[in-house]
A and B are shown apart, each in its own frame.
With several copies, the nearest count.
Chain A
């Protein structure tokens, strides 16, 4: 699974993308976030306030309870500020 990060989420985590292999107990985006937070303090900080985290699965904006699987492209970012 490829994960992409944008804006200050990317800055706090320190990479703009990474590949991980989904573990069996990760079924939803929120599971994935909890898994990432357990890895180290950078992820923990980036995902501290989940209310200002938005995510996309395969380039579609979704909710954090969305089911995911191994060949999805997941992206995490703050609220969008286009225009």
Chain B
């Protein structure tokens, strides 16, 4: 399942919505991304812009790719947009499988692909002014390894 939303999410609720439906889920892999305050720049806020409809299409595509590659009972991506503050949750990836290996690998894959293939752009508002976050070489490498 895919959710692109402005509002926050509750990890327990989101996970139990799925595990309560299937008692054969033995392993759940989860990744949560938060806004970091940063060591030097003193971040005040971060605004996530996205490309509505294309975002949902891309997340759906990435999620389906994970389901093709690993034996998953279910998987979930929640990605927020709008203005967020240090400590706020940005993204949730959760993968549900009978056994842990599939869940953990798929979880890592999903967050790696989201980094470079989900149409979001991050504007950091800090002491240094407003700066658009640039693509990282390490993220491109991480996406390409799959």
A7 CB contacts on chain B under 8 angstroms = 49, 121, 123, 132
Give the dominant DSSP class at B's interface.
mixed
A37-71 near B? 1/0 per residue, CB < 8 Å = 00000000000000000001001010000000000
A interface bracket (residues with beta carbon within 8 Å of B): 10 to 19
- A78 CA to B135 CA in the complex, in Å? 9
CB distance from A12 to the nearest CB of B (A): 11
Taking a contact as CB atoms under 8 Å apart, the answer to whether B111 and A56 are in contact is no
Given A4, A6, A56, which contacts B121 in the complex, CB threshold below 8 Å? Answer: A6
Residue numbers in B under 8 Å from A77 (CB-CB) = 51, 119, 121
Q: Which 9 A-B pairs have the closest CB atoms?
A: A82-B118, A79-B135, A7-B121, A59-B54, A83-B114, A82-B120, A83-B115, A82-B114, A81-B133
Interface residue ranges, A against B (CB under 8 Å): 4, 6-8, 56, 59, 61, 75, 77-83
